[in-house]
Amino acid sequence: MTSRHERRRRPRTARKNGGSQHDHLTRGSRVDGDDSDRVVCLRAVQHALHGRVPIRILHARVDGVGGGAAGIGRSSHGGLRPDAAVAPSTWPIGGFLRSSKKEEEGSVNQSADRRPPIVVITGASAGVGRAAVREFARRGAWIGLLARGRDGLEGAKKEVEAAGGRALVLPTDVADAEQVEAAAAAVEGRFGPIDVWVNNAMVSVLSPALEMTAKEFQRVTNVTYLGYVYGTLAALRRMVPRDEGVIVEVGSALAYRSIPLQSAYCGAKHAVQGFVESLRSELIHDGSRVHITTVQLPAVNTPQFSWIKSRMPYHPQPVPPIYQPEVIARAILWAACHRRREVCVGLPTVKAIVGDKFIPGLLDHYLAWNGYDAQQTAEPIKSDRPNNLFEPLPGDYGAHGRFDRGAYEFSLQFWLNQRRGLVAAAALGAAAYVAGRLAARSNGRSGLGGAEGRAPASKEMYG
């Protein structure tokens, strides 16, 4: 008998027991838009809900904040968010699709028959993690909250409960594999099987590399790289046997293009990228339906710049242009619900990736001249100010940092990325239109030239 590591990947149609008993929901049905994403998401809904969801919930109408899908695609003031995901039938975790009013009143299967999605978020106490907590909570998720600082976790728990969900506060240092494993077990023991695991916790040091200590490099690596490894493995130990689940790795443009003064952080993000690519190939080899995706971020307005350990003379800042954490939170939620290998947020992220591929040497010199000033404001700071490198700071800092002014609340690049099929179709249509116009103009000129060329012959013929 061949081992799990020796066998070839089995076709999904030849899986054990002949496939899912609910495959009829996707076979033979018409799928619009991104076919592969839609089919896979429909299957994931079936798995997450253990077959107890009514078929018509897959096509539930979004009625707004009060009903439908709990306000999917709505901003806080009630309008549609331009970069919100638009097709509720593509959410893979069934709890994100709350029942409509009619279903609550007269459905054969009441909402009580469907369990909410179970989500774990590391670094949930502040910044991007805190914004992601709010985004998932608005979709009815039950969330395991992991971070070191209890004050921020308790604040996040209150926000989840205010949104109608449930939360479990788990003070955890992700650099400790045993703590991460214990937290994962606690979430499943309290809420049930984990559907989505979001790795987001990080620390950094703003300093020239030669001035950093070995302990500082080790700490940044243990949290920002090994913390992701431990979280991913804890999730996989639970998801792989069930053959379902999504892991979202919150990455950075710095995973592709490093910048000065953050050598430890950039190295950790590069390491995460290498780890995920290797792991993804292993999952494909094993024929696993567990999906792992990476969300690559631009500069974000989070509280970390108020507590990052720094040896620079001025207050740290994200390299402009800066985005609000809610933009990233929506991208994380969207990535959890679509089988994309990687999701890039913001044009600066794309520019960094492309630039490093084609002009790395030029970027070396550009960042040498501009990278120092771009990461600092004009405000002097004390060298001994408190930082969170080894211990969390007390207090609840929320999601936003001090750079609200000028921070973007919308990413056109991500909005287009969500709709790349539509964008591609529009581009092809525009290209076809232009080609048709050029061909018509060319034919018109050809016809006119032919008439002029025949005119003299005509005169000779008819005298």
Give the catalytic positions in this structure: 265
Half-sphere exposure of 256 (CA within 13 A, CB side): 24
Q: Which residue has the tokens 């120092």?
A: 372
- Phi then psi for 45, rounded to 5 degrees? -60, -45
HEC string of the chain equals CCCCCCCCCCCHHHCHHHCCCCHHHCCCCCCCCCHHHHHHHHHHHHHHCCCCCCHHHHHCCCCCCCCCCCCCCECCCCCECCCCCCCHHHCCCHHHCCCCHHHHHHCCCCHHHCCCCEEEEECCCCHHHHHHHHHHHCCCCEEEEEECCHHHHHHHHHHHHHCCCCEEEEECCCCCHHHHHHHHHHHHHHCCCCCEEEECCCCCEECCHHHCCHHHHHHHHHHHHHHHHHHHHHHHHHHHHHCCCEEEEECCHHHCCCCCCCHHHHHHHHHHHHHHHHHHHHHHHCCCCCEEEEEECCEECCCHHHHCEECCCEEECCCCCEECHHHHHHHHHHHHCCCCCEEECCHHHHHHHHHHHHCHHHHHHHHHHHHHHHCEEEEECCCCCCCCCCCCCCCCCCCCCCCCCCCECCCHHHHHHHCHHHHHHHHHHHHHHHHHHHHHHHHHHHHHHHHHHHHHHHHHHHC
Distance CA(172)–CA(192), nearest Å, equals 19
Report the b/e string of 420-442 with b at 16+ CB within 10 A. eeeeeeeeeeeeeeeeeeeeeee
8 A C-beta contact, residue 198 and residue 122: yes
Q: Take residue 165 and report the two structure tokens written for it.
A: 């969900």
Distance CA(209)–CA(259), nearest Å, equals 12
